[in-house]
Amino acid sequence: MHGMPNSTLEASPNAALNKTILPKYMDLPIPEGKIQAMYVWVDGTGENVRAKTRTLDFIPKDPSDLPIWNYDGSSCYQAEGGNSDMYLYPVAIFNDPFRRGNNKLVLCDTYKANGKPADTNKRHSCLKAMEAAKDHEPWFGIEQEYTLLDMDLRPLGWPKNGFPGPQGPYYCGVGANKVYARDIVEAHYRACLYAGVNIAGSNAEVMPAQWEYQVGPCEGISIGDQLWMSRFILHRVAEEFGVVATLDPKPMPGDWNGAGAHTNFSTKAMRDENGIIEIEKAIDKLSRNHLRHIQAYDPKGGKDNERRLTGRHETSSIHDFSAGVANRGASIRIPRGCAEQKKGYLEDRRPSSNCDPYSVCEALVRTCILNE
């Protein structure tokens, strides 16, 4: 296995900058009462995020404290140039791990000038489903897999004219010939904790240069808010290192694992004694709505997941629904511990790494709780 070539990082303008200069300016005190608020939103691709900053003369405590703002939707694949204004509605506030102090990251959802949600604003309908299901206390945890790429969009540390050794030693690996860019993973983890994201853990994944972190448990709409902000933080951290973080569900064709966003889901009834009965009821409902879920589980309505859900590399086939205890080749896995305790949660292994968590969790709630 070749080491990471120096040219990989030198190719990025960000990595070439002298990183010792910026702190001199970031350490400058901000005038009393002023903060920087970076508004973050999902663009028209349904999988990429955008961000811009404004100065506020107060410290916001609640999203409703924050002003609605606008942006150029025509530059975000969301509007025509002749009618380009789109609107940002703040929905969640996080501490800013990049600027620190009282500065904030502000997650927003997006609206058209006529007041209707943008086509990629999946939060709007998800929130309605969560409010209708709130008495069931739906909990979610999402395992976000991603791959680190160099500026040539090749997995970081892979030989330029060849391939690394076959999969086997990389999952949860330790050692310079097994894992690449742990710096980014550690920086992201700490930044999420500082921001207030409920990040639960991280590990190296099966394909070299592939990693995973987990967000949750979160109740209701907060899972989508927190996962989207964790993704923004990931891209922002990787940017500083001159590395690209991709959520593509199958970045390398061939005998390599793809990337998913396995979604763990439970209701209060599932977590209570003999909740396994409720888990099995939910699986039965899911079995009858397979196509609906496949369409909700990646931004291209199943087209991205087709490359990943082949029935190989720890996936089920996109065409067939299956379920099983401790089976990583099934659509739905019941963890062994939950089967033994007869309560707990189910793991939906179908969502792609670039899924919209609002769409995924809305589909689970509408199928399993609201019986729609």
Instruction: Give pLDDT tens digits along the chain (372 positions).
Output: 344 444 445 578 888 889 899 999 999 999 999 999 999 999 999 999 999 999 999 999 999 999 999 999 999 989 888 778 999 999 999 999 999 999 999 999 999 999 999 999 999 999 999 999 999 999 999 999 999 999 999 999 999 889 999 999 999 999 999 999 999 999 999 999 999 999 999 999 999 999 999 999 999 999 999 999 999 999 999 999 999 999 999 999 999 999 999 999 999 999 999 999 999 999 999 999 999 999 999 999 999 999 999 999 999 999 999 999 988 889 999 999 999 999 999 999 999 999 999 999 999 999 999 999
Nearest to 355 by CA among 219, 236, 264, 249: 249
pLDDT value of position 10:
55
207: its two tokens: 């394909």
List CB contacts of 90: < 8 A, sequence separation 6 or more: 39, 60, 63, 64, 66, 68, 106, 107, 108
Angle at the Cα of 363 (from 361 to 366), degrees rounded to 5? 110
Phi-psi region of 46 (alpha: psi -120 to 50; beta: other; left: phi over 0): left
DSSP 3-state assignment of 252? coil
- Please give the angle made by the CA atoms of 294, 257 and 15, to the nearest 5 degrees: 105
**Partner residues linked to 118 by β-bridges:** none
Q: How far apart, in whole angstroms, are the C-alpha atoms of residue 7 and residue 346?
A: 44
Question: What distance in Å separates the CA atoms of residue 45 and residue 47, rounded to the nearest whole number?
Answer: 5
Q: For residue 7, what pLDDT is reported?
A: 47
Check residue 12 and give its pLDDT.
86
Laid out side by side, the sheet with 69-72 consists of: 49-56, 35-42, 104-111, 85-95, 69-72
- What amino acid is encoded at 208 in this protein? P
Structure tokens at 12: 């990025």
pLDDT for 2: 43
Write down the pLDDT at residue 83: 77
Q: Which two tokens stand for residue 156?
A: 């970081």
Torsion of CA 289, 129, 235, 218, to 10 degrees: -100
pLDDT score for 80: 84
DSSP for 152-210? TSSBTT--TTS-PPPSSS-TT--STTT---HHHHHHHHHHHHHHT--EEEEEE-SSTTE
The token duo for 224 is 């989508």
What the chain holds in terms of domains, given with CATH numbers, is 31-120 (3.10.20.70), 130-368 (3.30.590.10)
